Structure 1
C-alpha cells in the first residue's frame, strides 16, 4: 500500500563525494556531499550556496572529486558538521556546524598533487577525479523563498586517478564492480553496496562504446 508522504529530504541513496578546493588564502578545503551523478566524463553536483566549496569553485573554476570507499567512512564522518566558511552561515549554526580550517588534518586524509588542477586529491580515496567548472544553475526559480539557496554545477572531468585495488585484472581502464565498494549516503546514514542481485543486460555492452 502506498500513502501520500512529505519527507524533509529525498536522499534515497547516492555515493559520498569529498570535494577538495583551494581557499582564497591558498589553503585546502575538503567538503563531503552526496548530491552527485555522472554522465560520461561530465558530473553534476548540487551544493548549498553559502558553502565555502561553492565560493572556491566559482572563484577558481576547478576542484577534485574524491570518492571514498566504505573503509573511509569514519574519516568522512569526522568532516560532518564542519564548514570552511568563517563566519559559519546562520543555517549551519542552527544545525550545529563549526568552522574548521584544516579539514584534511581533521579527517586524517593526505593531500596529493593533481595533474591538471591546483586543488589536491585525497590520497586515501580510491577514486580521484580532477574537474573543471563548465556551467552553474540556481535551483527553484519557481519558488522565490528557496531560489538560489542550492546551486547545481556541471563539471568536466579532466583526469581520473584510480587505485589499482579496484581495477579489473589486466584492465587499467576498467573498474571492477566486485572490488569497488563506494560509501553510500541514504537518508543521512552511511551504507555500502551488497552483493550483485541480478545479471544486467546493460553489462553486455562493451564499455568502450560509451566513449
Structure 2
C-alpha cells in the first residue's frame, strides 16, 4: 500500500485553545428554586444551579452543609421551581442567605441565617398537591417531586439528589394549547452562566423528535414527523 504523499495531507488547524483553571464550572445551567420542609414544619427555599433532567427524574447537586441537603436527607418531598429570566433579582436576594443555624463555615463570607426565605426574596407560596413543601407562585414551571436517592458526591463536599417528579404545574402561557407540551418558543428559563444570569436567545433549530415544531414549518412536515415520533 502506498502512503499518501505529505504534500496532499490536509493541513492541521493551528492550536487555538489555552489550558485554564477556572474556579467554577457553571457553564450555562438552569436556575431552580428548591422548596423543602424544615424539621419544625416550616419551609426552606434555596437557589441552585446544578440541575438536569433524565426522563421524569431530576438530578440535583447541593452543598453538603446546606439546609436543603439536610432536609432532603430526612424529608424527601420537594418542589423544583423554575424561574423566568425577569425573576433573577429574587434569586439573587436568596443567594447570600441560608436556612441553617448556625451558618456553616463552608458558606461564603457574608452569608447569614434567614428563616423566612420566601419573604426575603419577595416571593409567594401556594400549596402543592402531593408534597408538603409549597410551590413558588411566581415561577412559570413547578415540579412536585420526591427525593428517592440522596448521596455524597465523589469529593465529599456536595450531595447528589435523584428526585422523581410526581406532578408538573405550568403557566398556561407556556403550554401549547390543547396539549401537555411546553411551548419552547414561549418558555424562557433563567440560566446561570459562570455566575452571571442570562435568558435564552432566538431559536436556532430543533431535534427531529420534537412534538412542538416551529410555527413557520409547513404543515405537511409537522404531520409527518408527529406520525413517526
Fold equivalence (TM over 0.5): yes
* Structure (1 or 2) with the larger CA radius of gyration: 2
Aligned to 2:48: 33
Residue 134 of structure 2 aligns with which residue?
Answer: 120
Match of 1:148 in 2: 156
RMSD, aligned CA: 1.8
Q: Partners of 1:175 and 1:5 in 2: how far apart?
A: 38
**Corresponding residue for 1:181?**
188
Stretches of structure 2 lacking an aligned partner (at least 5 in a row): 1-15, 212-224
Give deviations 1:176-201, integer Å, cap 9, x for gaps.
01110110000011000011123433
Over 3 Å counting, the alpha-carbon distance change for 1:178 and 1:22 in structure 2 is same
Output one character per residue of 1:156-210: Cα deviation in whole Å (capped at 9) or x when no partner. 0011111101111232x1000111011000001100001112343343665996x
The unaligned stretches of length 5 or more in structure 1 are 141-146
TM-score if structure 2 supplies the norm length?
Answer: 0.83
1:80 aligns with 2:89: no
Q: Does 2:144 correspond to 1:137?
A: no
Match of 2:121 in 1: 107
Q: Which has the higher contact order (CA 8 A, sep 6+)?
A: 1
Counterpart position of 2:171? 163
Point out the structure with the larger strand share.
1
Q: 1:45 aligned to 2:60?
A: yes
**Structure 1 CA distance for aligned equivalents of residues 66 and 228 of structure 2:** 37
TM-score by length of 1: 0.90
